[in-house]
Each structure stands twice: as C-alpha cells, then as structure tokens.
C-alpha cells in the first residue's frame, strides 16, 4: 500500500490492537477488533504489517479492505475448537470487501496416509486395478487439526482478492457462494499435489459477474471449479465469468465445470491459460440435473500425466460426461435424484493438448450434447507402458451428440507407446457431424485398425480430411442407423484402404461429393 493510499484511507494497524507479530501468539482478537473498528467507521484498511499472525475464523465487515503486507503471514490456527466457521476469512451478506497485498495466507494443512473409510464410486474402478496389481491403497486425508477453507464468502457483493499467496489450505482454498461482482487477480495458490485432497483452488459457486485473471494455481485437487450447488442456500446460476492468463496444475482436474450443478453454469469464457502436469485437463461433468451452456475455451495448452490412483481422472486432456448420478453410483435411489441435465453451445479452439489418457466427449442417449465445436486443436497421445491403468483404447471418443464439429483437428501418436491403443477417433450415435480438415494416422500398436470410426451417425460431412503416413483404413463406417454421409475433397492417398463400410450400412447411406 502506497503512502498516498494510506493518507487517503482510514488505516487500522493490527499492531495498535494488540497483535505481537509472533506466530506462537494468537492474533485473532487483535485482527477481529481491527476489522470490527474498520467496519464501524464506515470502511477503510485493516493493515497487517510484516510478522507472523496465528488466528482462526475472521468475520469481515462491509467496506473492509484487508491489506497483508509483504513479509506478513497469517496462519490458520491448529486448534479446531477455535473456529466459529469452517473458514479462516469468512463473510456473509456483506459488500465491498477486499483481501490484498503481497503477503501470505497459510492454512497449515497436514495430512495422514491411511485406508479410506468410505467408497468413492468415482475412483472405485481405479481401486480395483490397484488391488489387482498390488498398488498400496493408503491415501491422503487432512488431519483433524487441519481446518476449513482459507476464504468462504456467502452472498457477498463487490469482492476483490488480489496478489496474495494462499498456501496449504485444508479444504477448498476459496469457496465463493452466490457472490456478485467478484475479481480475483494475481494470486498464487499452492497445496501439495501428492496429498492435498479436497484442497481446490478457486470455486465460484452460483456466482455472477466473476473475473479470474493472472493467477497461478498449483493444487492437489481441482484448480478452478464452477459449481451451482445448494450447500449454503438455493442453487443459483453460476454465470457471466471470464478466466484469463492463468497457469493451472492439478492432481485432479485443472479446469472443471462441476458435477454438483443443480441449476446452471453458463456464459463462461476461458482464454490464454496454460495447464501443466494435471491428471485431467478440461472437464465437463453434468450429473445433477443442471445445464452447462454458452462456454468458449480458447488459446490453451494442456499437458496431462497420470497421478496417484485415488485422484479423479485418467490423464486425459478432454473429459465431457452427461449422466445421472445414479450411473456413477448405482446404489443411489433414482427417485430422489433430479432429471438428467444438458450441455450445449460449447466451443474449444486454438488448443494444443498432450497426455497418455483417452479423451472422451460423451452425452447421454436421453440428453445429447448439442452444438459442440473443436477448432484448431492438436491432440498428441503417448502412454506410460508400466501403468496398469489402460482405459478405452481410443484417443478421442465422441458419443451421443447433435450438431458436432471438428474443424482443423490433428491427432499425433508419440513415444512411449502402449499396445492397447487402436483408433484416433470413434464417433457413436451422433446426429449432424462435420469433420473438416481432420488429420490422423494409425496408432503404432495397431497399424491395421481404422483411424476413424463412424458408428450410427445420421447426417455427416467428411471433407478436406487427410490420412497420415502408414494408414491402412482411414475411415470405417458402421451401424444400422448410419445414413446421409457425404465424403468430399479428402486426401486419402496415404491410406491403403481409404474407406471401409460394414455390411449393415446401406449402400445409399454413403456418397462421394455433393449431390
């Protein structure tokens, strides 16, 4: 904070309220007193000078600006009984609040490795493989002395969080519920990628008018997650959101449109971001009846690798999945669950992605993905030959969709390879498909397998596509429901068998050129 800013605002220095600046001393009373005095004065700055300050829950007030100076660290208490709320910084129904500065907020999360006492159906298949191959089944959990979010704001307006370092959160680092006009800029978030389970980075939940920019988020659990939950009140749409110029790493999903969506997540743009070392890159998980719509993701690099068995994801750059939650967990009572949700109007463009896991973009037969486009996408696939987790043998699966476009999309296979890989692209049950300037070749482990498979596709235009060197069959067309497939202007000279049709495909279902 500059001298001019100090002169222009009323400043409440926490040292004047009794804070010692020593970590071993509790600073909670001094911090809360300064915040309360600032709020009572109509607003100003609560100034945290260099030093170490240990506290539990701090309740923010209207028009309070907490400035944590460089060299200052606020630590979460290790006494769970001292937390009034499940958070370090807590605000409910307040407005014009700010957390800023060049200092640090440290949640002091610690972890214990033990066997799980519950069954997570999202990783149960991984657990079965781990048991089969003798992989240790102990996983990380926060210790009982590690408490809460670092930031929990509920129904707040005009929120700004800027430039601070948020470290070692025991739970979601920032949970913003039903907040309006939120600006998160230039923050650094870190939790252990080996152990930081549940320690998400930034979780806007039913928030509106949100901007996340210039952040570095390196987390155990998901980095940025969009929710529309009812955890603190009725589920609101999470909408009108921009994310730009961020670097994300996660042992789970780097960017996630979350499964806990009871209303809507819509009007979201994500651009100019770098995803590295993540167990899953970009994820859409519509499981709880909500809608995800009007999403643009562009100018991204995505690099994935497989992390420990207990994290969600299979080292895949792209993951879309629309189902009812009972599909994930058959033990749930379907009568208590909402109807299936929807995903529509999504565009991914200018993306370079790399990973050893099978990407999938999959709707449900009763809720087709609608109006999804991938444009100028480069997907490179390799493998971990020693890994026991070898899932679907297809680089990208498209299933249960309407009006789906791949334009200027290239697939590349890269060493190390795995003998389970087969096709680059499989399309199943899609109405209205465009493959325009798609380039692909055979998996090194299966040179005779078809590079692209169309199964039960109704209405497709395959144009300007290119077979890469070594291709046997470029395009396999199958399925009794396949009809109205047009091939036009494709360069298949490098394929020994350009197009193959299964016996059940009617001859008039496929034609060359426009008619």
- SS3 annotation, 421-459: CCEEEEEEEEEEEEEEEEEECCCCCCCCCCCEEEEEEEE
DSSP one-letter code for 471:
-
Whether the link from the prior residue into 410 is cis, omega within 30° of 0, is: no
Distance in angstroms (rounded) separating the CA atoms of residues 32 and 38 = 10
Structure tokens at 445: 């482990």
CA–CA separation, 411 and 423 (whole Å) = 10
d(CA 349, CA 347): 6
Compute CA distances 43 → 11, 38, 60, 394, whole Å. 9, 5, 11, 58
195: Cβ–Cβ under 8 A, 6 or more apart, which residues? 111, 113, 140, 220
DSSP 266-322: EEEEEEEEEEEEESEEEEEEE-SS-EEEEEEEEEEEEEE----TTSS--SEEEEEEE
Could you tell me which of 124, 244, 146, 231 has the C-alpha nearest to residue 197? 146
Q: What are phi and psi of 335, to 5 degrees?
A: -65, -20
Look up the CATH architecture of domain 1-110+145-166.
3 Solenoid (2.160)
Distances (CA, A) of 441 to 82, 358, 423: 61, 16, 9
Both structure tokens of 384 = 């971990």
* Distance in angstroms (rounded) separating the CA atoms of residues 400 and 361: 9
User: Considering the entire predicted model, what is its pTM?
Assistant: 0.95
Looking at residue 139, the DSSP 8-state letter turns out to be: E
Q: How confident is the prediction along the chain (515 residues), in pLDDT tens digits per residue? A: 554 555 457 999 999 999 999 999 999 999 999 999 999 999 999 999 999 999 999 999 999 999 999 999 999 999 999 999 999 999 999 999 999 999 999 999 999 999 998 888 888 888 888 898 899 999 999 999 999 999 999 999 999 999 999 999 999 999 999 999 999 999 999 999 999 999 999 999 999 999 999 999 999 999 999 999 999 999 999 999 999 999 999 999 999 999 999 999 999 999 999 999 999 999 999 999 999 999 999 999 999 999 999 999 999 999 999 999 999 888 899 889 999 999 999 999 999 999 999 999 999 999 999 999 999 999 999 987 777 777 789 999 999 999 999 999 999 999 887 788 999 999 999 999 999 999 999 999 899 999 999 999 999 999 999 999 999 999 999 999 999 999 999 999 999 989 999 999 998 999 987 53
Two tokens, residue 13: 């220095």
Distances (CA, A) of 171 to 14, 175, 416: 27, 9, 36
In the three-class reduction of DSSP (H, G, I as helix; E, B as strand; rest coil), residue 40 is classed as helix
Can you tell me the distance from the alpha carbon of 433 to that of 486, in angstroms, rounded to the nearest whole number? 10
Distance, CA of 290 to CA of 260 (rounded, Å): 8
Residue ranges per structural domain of the chain? 1-110+145-166, 382-515
Compute the 3-state secondary structure of the chain and give helix, strand, coil in percent, each to the nearest 5. 10, 50, 40
């Amino acid at each position: 904070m500059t001298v001019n800013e100090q002169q222009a605002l009323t400043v409440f220095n926490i040292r004047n309220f009794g804070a010692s600046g020593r970590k071993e001393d509790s600073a909670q009373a001094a911090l809360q007193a300064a915040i309360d005095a600032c709020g009572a004065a109509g607003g100003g700055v609560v100034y945290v000078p260099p030093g170490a300050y240990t506290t539990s829950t701090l309740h923010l007030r209207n028009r309070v600006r907490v400035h944590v100076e460089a060299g200052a660290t606020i630590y979460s208490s290790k006494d769970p009984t001292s937390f009034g709320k499940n958070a370090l910084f807590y605000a409910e129904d307040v407005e014009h609040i700010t957390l800023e500065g060049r200092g640090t907020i440290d949640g002091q999360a610690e972890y214990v490795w033990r066997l799980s006492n519950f069954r997570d159906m999202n990783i149960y298949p991984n657990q079965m493989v781990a048991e089969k191959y003798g992989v240790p089944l102990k996983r990380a959990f926060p210790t009982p002395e590690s408490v809460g979010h670092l930031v929990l704001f509920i129904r707040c307006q005009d929120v700004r969080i800027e430039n601070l370092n948020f470290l070692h959160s025991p739970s979601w680092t920032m949970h913003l519920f039903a907040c309006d006009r939120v600006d998160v800029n230039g923050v650094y978030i870190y939790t252990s990628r080996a152990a930081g389970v549940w320690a998400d980075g930034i979780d806007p939940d039913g928030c509106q008018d949100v901007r996340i920019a210039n952040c570095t988020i390196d987390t155990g659990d998901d980095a940025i997650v969009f929710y529309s939950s009812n955890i603190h009140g009725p589920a609101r749409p999470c909408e009108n959101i921009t994310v730009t110029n961020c670097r994300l790493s996660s042992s789970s999903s780097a960017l996630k449109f979350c499964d806990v969506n009871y209303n809507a997540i819509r009007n979201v743009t994500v651009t100019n971001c770098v995803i590295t070392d993540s167990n899953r890159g970009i994820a859409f998980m519509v499981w709880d009846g909500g809608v995800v719509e009007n999403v643009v993701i562009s100018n991204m690099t995505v690099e994935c690798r497989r992390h420990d068995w207990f994290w969600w994801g299979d080292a895949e750059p792209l993951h879309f999945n629309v189902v009812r939650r009972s599909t994930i967990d058959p033990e749930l009572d379907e009568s208590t669950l909402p109807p299936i949700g929807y995903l529509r109007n999504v565009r991914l463009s200018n993306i370079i992605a790399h990973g050893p896991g099978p990407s999938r973009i999959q709707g449900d037969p009763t809720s087709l993905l609608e109006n999804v486009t991938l444009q100028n996408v480069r997907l490179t696939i390799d493998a971990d030959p020693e890994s026991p987790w070898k899932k679907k043998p297809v680089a990208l699966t498209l299933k249960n969709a309407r009006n789906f476009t791949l334009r200027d999309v290239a697939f590349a296979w890269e060493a190390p390879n795995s003998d389970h890989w087969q096709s680059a692209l499989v399309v199943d049950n899609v109405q209205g498909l465009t493959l325009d300037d798609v380039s692909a070749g055979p998996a090194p482990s299966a040179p005779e397998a078809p590079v692209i498979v169309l199964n039960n596709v109704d209405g497709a235009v395959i144009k300007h596509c290119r077979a890469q060197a070594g291709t046997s069959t470029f395009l396999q067309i199958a399925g009794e429901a396949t009809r109205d497939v047009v091939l036009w202007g494709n360069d298949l000279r490098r394929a020994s068998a350009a197009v193959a049709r299964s016996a059940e495909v009617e001859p008039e279902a496929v034609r060359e050129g426009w008619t």
